[in-house]
Structure 1
Amino acid sequence: MMKKTVTNLLSILFIFFLIGKINAQEIKMTHKDSLNVVLEKYYELNLKVFQSGSNIDDIDNIFSLFTEEFIYVHPKYGGVYTRENLYTGYKRNQEKGSYNGKVIDIQIINKIVGLNAIAVNKRFIKKVNDKTVEGEINMTLIEFRKGRISKIFEYW
């Protein structure tokens, strides 16, 4: 009887141990998954803005993914931009008609998901003279804080 009780107790403890391990793995997976969801939403919303007929609400939807202290770094195109600088640039490009539907897709080639960052290799797919043209592969590092994008660093 005592042997059966000890065996049952050990079985229960083992089950709790397994449940604890499973829950810990689910939390890690959920965190990575949530970063991927934000990343995919970011590129999806950018693609929408790049189309003819996009509006200020489309830009606002992108910026809802950013933290208040968000910064954008692109050394090739001027360096560091605050959230406000980048927003002004998006609005200006939209008003000038620069978002005209030539970018038809953003293809993610590869990504590495870290604790609070994702390194992305991507390329823009454009329509040029009725032909689909694949752009160069670019590298971007996107950092997250509390599930929102806090920094984007372009390495192209």
Structure 2
Amino acid sequence: MRINKGVEWAGHACALLVPLWPDRGLPLSALAEFHGLPEPYMAKQMQALARAGIVSGGRGRSGFYTLARAPNEITLLDILLAVDGDEPMFRCTEIRQNGPCGSKPADCKVPCNIAAGFWRAEEAYRARLAQVDLATLAGAVAAQLGPDKVSQAGDWIGENLRSRS
């Protein structure tokens, strides 16, 4: 399984917006600069998040993005689905019907154990992502970075901050 790198970028952008919720946000240019990404790439991810109702705002370079919901109401699954979509990762092609010993379609009314195993694994994966909310994740990120790096990031964010007022 490979997750689109845009999911990573969207997750980092959302984590950066957590301490600013609900009244403050960052412009697209700042989100892109903070993560060292070209603006068009970050714009694509932020637009996907906005369509999914995860962030709001973003009216051009002068606008800003903020979380649209409380950080504890947004999960990693929400971000994944917003950027990568809801298509299943595994698609059964009924390979068991191919080749010299292939099964007849009439014998394949029940999903094969290979497909069923992948589907169960994907359900577990999605269920786990649904348990990780942005508030918890942002706290873990800050703890991992340590106070000096958090302070440095806080100073940088303060220079680029936008308010709803």
The verdict on a shared fold, with TM-score over 0.5 as the criterion, is no
Query: Quick check: which one's strand share is greater?
Result: 1
TM norm structure 1:
0.28
Higher Rg: 1
TM norm structure 2:
0.27
Query: Quick check: which one's helix share is greater?
Result: 2
Q: Which has the higher contact order (CA 8 A, sep 6+)?
A: 2
